[in-house]
Structures are given as C-alpha cells and as structure tokens.
Amino acid sequence: MGGTQRLAERAGSGRARELVLTGELFGAEELSGWGVVNRIYPEGEFERRARELAAELASGPTRAHAMTKHVLRRFREGGIPAADEAIRTEAAELFASEDLQGAVRAFLEHGGPGHAEFEGR
C-alpha cells in the first residue's frame, strides 16, 4: 500500500527489490546505511528516546515543520521545480508568523539557535 515505493525512495530500487522479494531480515545498522533507518538506539531505550524526539518536535516550530513536510511532498511529486514553487508561493507566509518573528528575535538576542519558544502562530 505504498511501502515499496517509499522504500525505493530511501534505499534505491535495487535494495527495495531485495527487501520485498526475498523477505530477508536485515539489521538496523545495515538498514541505516541504506537510508531506511534514521536513528539506532541501544536496546531498552527506544521508547524513551522516541518520546523525547516526539516532545522535541511538538515543542518546536510546528507550522514550519508542517511546511517542511509539504515542500518535501511537493519535491517527491515534481522534483526541485515543484518544491521551489511551493517555497515561493506557500512557505513565504511563514515569514509573517509570530513564531518566526520570535525565533529571529531570540536568535539575535542570544546569538544562536535553540532559545526560541514556539506557539504554533
């Protein structure tokens, strides 16, 4: 239901064929090397680390995260020209958001990233 092509997008069509046609199991490190797995955690830490990542993303610039996902979806559908068009016509609206203005202020006041607080506005 879409997994094969998404796997091919990340690992290449040859690796996708190998995984799907053989049903073979591959380790996390090998899958990470293929671009299928982003992060590997020691046994017993996965749930905690996944929750930490989810909390970090949820407390971040959620409108910017949504736009990033949209631009990447446009890239998958139409390549760089489609993604560029989304940036030009849709992402520009983020510059008027309270979150971006606050992030710029925090960056200038503190001399670097990581100090802004986001409200989704």
Question: What CATH number is associated with residue 120?
Answer: 1.10.12.10
> What integer pLDDT is reported at residue 33 of this predicted model?
92
Q: 17-58: per-residue pLDDT in tens?
A: 999 999 999 999 999 999 999 999 998 999 999 999 999 999
The answer to whether 116 and 103 have CB atoms below 8 angstroms apart is yes
**Measuring CA to CA, how many Å separate 36 from each of 30, 31, 44, 45?**
9, 5, 21, 20
Is 0.85 surpassed by the pTM of this model?
no
> What integer pLDDT is reported at residue 18 of this predicted model?
93
The verdict on residue 75 lying in a domain is: yes
Domain count, the chain: 1
The verdict on residue 87 lying in a domain is: yes
> Which of 23, 22, 19, 24 shows the shortest CA–CA distance to 5?
19
- Residue numbers of the domain that contains 89: 61-121
Q: State which amino acid sits at residue 103.
A: A
- Phi first, then psi, for residue 49 (nearest 5°) are -65, -35
The verdict on residue 48 lying in a domain is: no
Structure tokens at 112: 């670097």
